[in-house]
């Protein structure tokens, strides 16, 4: 059975969120934890879609914020699976902001590892990644 993942190509954002005053830290910029949460949620959507079951986050690698995010910014999180193990999936996520007065800006990237779980929270096998489609000659 072929996996039914529709989210293997990150051409549209998995999550888009307008940053509001409630999301700010005492510097007046968006709290980093808000961005981390969006990364985890978007990546989890992609992993669960591929696995067709529940997933849990095992690891998020280093996250470096390249630029601040402000109230009113539209944050877009793109995510795609880059590696599949027996029960694990590595997801690459990228975060961009959109502002009315500037072109889209890359804010940060992360790789996350998820494990697929059954109803008893035990690891379960996940399907392999689909083979890349070869374009006709």
Summarised one tens digit per residue, pLDDT across range 99-117 is: 988 889 999 999 999 999 9
Nearest residue to 111 via CA among 87, 84, 79, 88: 79
Q: Is the pLDDT of residue 4 over 60?
A: no
Q: Is the pLDDT of residue 3 over 80?
A: no
Query: pLDDT-based confidence at 134, cuts 50/70/90?
Result: low
Query: pLDDT-based confidence at 2, cuts 50/70/90?
Result: very low
Backbone angles phi, psi at 128, to 5 degrees: -70, 165
Cα 66-40-85 angle, rounded to 5 deg: 110
The whole-number average pLDDT for the span 113-130 is 96
The whole-number average pLDDT for the span 92-99 is 95
Domain residue limits, the chain? 15-117
Domain 15-117: give its CATH superfamily.
Hotdog Thioesterase (3.10.129.10)
Nearest residue to 69 via CA among 100, 103, 35: 35
Spatial distance between the Cα atoms of 2 and 101, rounded to a whole number of angstroms: 44
Tell me how long the chain is: 137
């Amino acid at each position: 059975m072929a996996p039914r993942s529709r989210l293997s190509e990150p051409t549209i954002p998995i999550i888009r969120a307008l940053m509001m005053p409630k999301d700010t830290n005492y510097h007046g910029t968006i709290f980093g934890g808000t961005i981390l949460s969006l990364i985890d949620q978007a990546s989890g959507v992609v992993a669960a879609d591929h696995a067709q079951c529940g997933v849990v986050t095992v690891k998020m690698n280093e996250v470096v914020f390249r630029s601040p995010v402000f109230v009113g910014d539209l944050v877009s999180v793109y995510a795609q699976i880059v590696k599949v193990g027996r029960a694990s999936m590595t997801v690459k996520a990228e975060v961009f902001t959109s502002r009315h007065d500037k072109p889209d800006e890359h804010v940060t990237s992360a790789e996350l590892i998820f494990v697929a779980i059954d109803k008893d929270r035990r690891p379960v096998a996940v399907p392999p990644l689909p083979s890349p489609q070869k374009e006709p000659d």
